[in-house]
Amino acid sequence: MTPVYETHSSVYRPGMTWTRTSREILPCPPSALWAPLADFTRWPDWDPDLAGVELHGPAEAGSTGFLVPTGFRGRVHSRVAEPFTITSLAQDREIAFRQPIPFGAMDLVLRLTAVGEGTEFVQEITLTGPLRAVMVAIIGGDVVKHFDVKCARLTELAAAQADHDA
């Protein structure tokens, strides 16, 4: 199956939000992708923007955790950021969380939908608040820019798990 990649343009609404949605068809079922997605500690295995993730309890809606971005951003984030909150967790379908940012929030939704023999993987990032343009420059742009890398790594992890299980 040939991957299909589509990124919608960002939406700027003065005084409101910045949103970007990316999607790709991955050649494996949602259940195969769920293991690396649902294990937050494994996110650095597939997300090049993360050095670490720590959960402060079970992976369920309402739980909190801490993201450590890579590089200089991670050092700053580790000192000043508040924990994220899981806002949605539906097995084999969706993970969403909200990360407070100065005077606003970053909402990230990762959605899996079965499509034929594969899965449509959707990433939606929304930044709100008066500093959203700054946050787009600091982190939001990279979250979108590295989407193809995330998709490739998730596909590799799902394939490796399938080989291990066989």
- Helix axes of 147-165 and 30-38: crossing angle, nearest 10 degrees: 110
For residue 150, CA distances in Å to 26, 34, 45, 81, 129 come to 11, 14, 9, 24, 27
Q: What is the pLDDT of residue 164?
A: 63
Regarding pTM above 0.95, the answer is no
Domains of the chain: 5-38+85-165 (3.30.530.20)
- Return the biggest CA–CA distance within the chain: 52
For residue range 3-58, what is the model confidence (pLDDT) as tens digits? 443 444 444 444 567 788 999 999 999 999 999 999 999 999 999 988 999 999 99
- The 10s digit of each residue's pLDDT in 87-115 is 999 999 999 999 888 778 889 999 999 99
What's the pLDDT score for residue 110? 96
Chain-centre distance for alpha carbon 163: 25
